[in-house]
Amino acid sequence: MTTNPVMIFGAGGLGKAALEIFQSNDVLLYGFLDDKEELHNTEINHITILGRTDDHGLTKFVGNKCDAFVAISDRKVRKSLFKMLNERRKAMPVNAIHQRACISGNAHISYGMFVDAGAVIGSFAKVDKGCILHTNAVVDYEAVLGEFVQVGAGAVVHAGAQIENDVFIGAGAVIAGPVQIGKGARIGAGAVVIGNVEAGQTVFGNPAQPVKS
C-alpha cells in the first residue's frame, strides 16, 4: 500500500470501495477523476471529484505529487487508463488492498489491483496487473491469474488453475481443479468449471457448459 497521496480514477461503486480501503489504511486522497461532468466539484466522504480522467491539467500530478488508482471495472476503459498512466505519466497504478484481505507472503502480486474484504491469495499464487478480487474471492495456492482478470464475490479459483488475461469470473463461481481458462472467457455467476474453457467462450451452469449462440 502506498504512502503517497492517491488520485482515484472513477467515482462509481468501485471508486467508493477503494476510497474506504485507502482511508482505512490512513492513505491520503488527492481527489477523484470521473468522466461524468455532473459529479465534478461534488464530494464523496469529503474527497472532491476534480474533473475528467483525461484532464491533463490534473493527471500531470500523477507520478509527481501523487500516485494513481484505477477504480473502473469496464475492461476497455481500465486498460486504456493503465496504458496512459504507464506511457504518459511513467507511473504504475497502486494496489488497493483491504485490511481484511489475506495475501500469502509467498504469493506474487503485481500492480493496480483491487482486493476487497475477505479475499484470499494463497501460497505461491500469481496475480498479474489490474486484477479485481471482490469480497471473499479466493485464489488458492499455485493458481495463476493473468492481466485484468475480475473475480466476483465469493468465487473460488482452486489450486493450480491457470486463468489467462481478460477473464471474467462471476460471483460464486468455482474453478474446480487445475484447469485452464482461455483469454477473454466469461464464467457465469454460480458456474462450476471442471474442464478447460476456450478463449472468448462464455459458460454457465453446474457443470459449466458453453452458451450456444
In the CATH scheme, what is the code of domain 6-94? 3.40.50.20
Helix (H, G, I), strand (E, B) or coil at 168: strand
Same-fold call for 6-94 versus 95-206: no
Domain boundaries, the chain: 6-94, 95-206
Nine-digit cell at 140?
A: 488458492
Q: What is the pLDDT of residue 43?
A: 97
Superfamily for the 95-206 domain = Hexapeptide repeat proteins (2.160.10.10)
Query: Is 150 in contact with 156 (CB distance < 8 Å)?
Result: no
183: left (phi over 0), alpha (psi -120 to 50) or beta: beta
Spatial separation of the C-alpha atoms in residues 15 and 33, rounded to whole Å: 10
Instruction: Give pLDDT < 70 ranges for the chain.
Output: 1-2, 213
